Amino acid sequence: MSWYIGAACTLLAIWIIYKTVNHRRAVVAARERAEAEGKELPVSNHPISAMATGIAPIFAMGIFFSAVAVGAVSFTVDTRGLISPIDIAGFIFLAGAYSVWMVMRIHYSPMGLEIKGEAEEKGR
């Protein structure tokens, strides 16, 4: 039972990566459809959006390196073996997947695009 948390974190990380890849595909396809239809995509000149694009990799690295630090401390301090290496690896993988998700959501913003999957979900 000591490795169940790591397995759950790994499964959640795989699901996050799957959703990230699907989001990127949907935005790229929507951009291509908009370009083929001759629509002009809106561009935000607001300083906050520029700051978000610039700070996203720094924030993602902070999340990932914090997870690695927590994993290293847990691995070295846990003398009774309550936390397995699989748990630590699953947690680090989950933090890395979340970082990738966050960066992709910022760089592949659906602003001004009609994405079929999201439009159907909003209609429900």
The model carries a pTM of 0.77
Q: What is the pLDDT of residues 12-36, one digit of tens each?
A: 999 999 999 999 998 888 888 888 8
Q: Report in angstroms the alpha-carbon separations of 51 from 33, 54, 57.
A: 28, 5, 11
List Cβ neighbours of 8 (8 Å cut-off, separation of 6 or more): 90
In contact, 41 and 122? CB cutoff 8 Å: no
Q: What residues have CB less than 8 Å from 16, skipping those under 6 apart?
A: 94, 97, 98, 100, 101
pLDDT tens-digit map of 30-77: 888 888 888 777 666 667 767 777 788 888 889 989 998 988 888 788
pLDDT at 85: 86
Model confidence band, residue 124 (pLDDT cutoffs 50, 70, 90): very low
pLDDT of residue 97: 94
Answer yes or no: is pLDDT of 90 > 70. Answer: yes
- Predicted local distance difference test score (pLDDT) of residue 113: 67
pLDDT at position 45, please?
67
H helix intervals, 1-124: 4-36, 47-77, 85-107, 116-123
Tens-place pLDDT, residues 92-118: 999 999 999 988 888 887 766 666 655
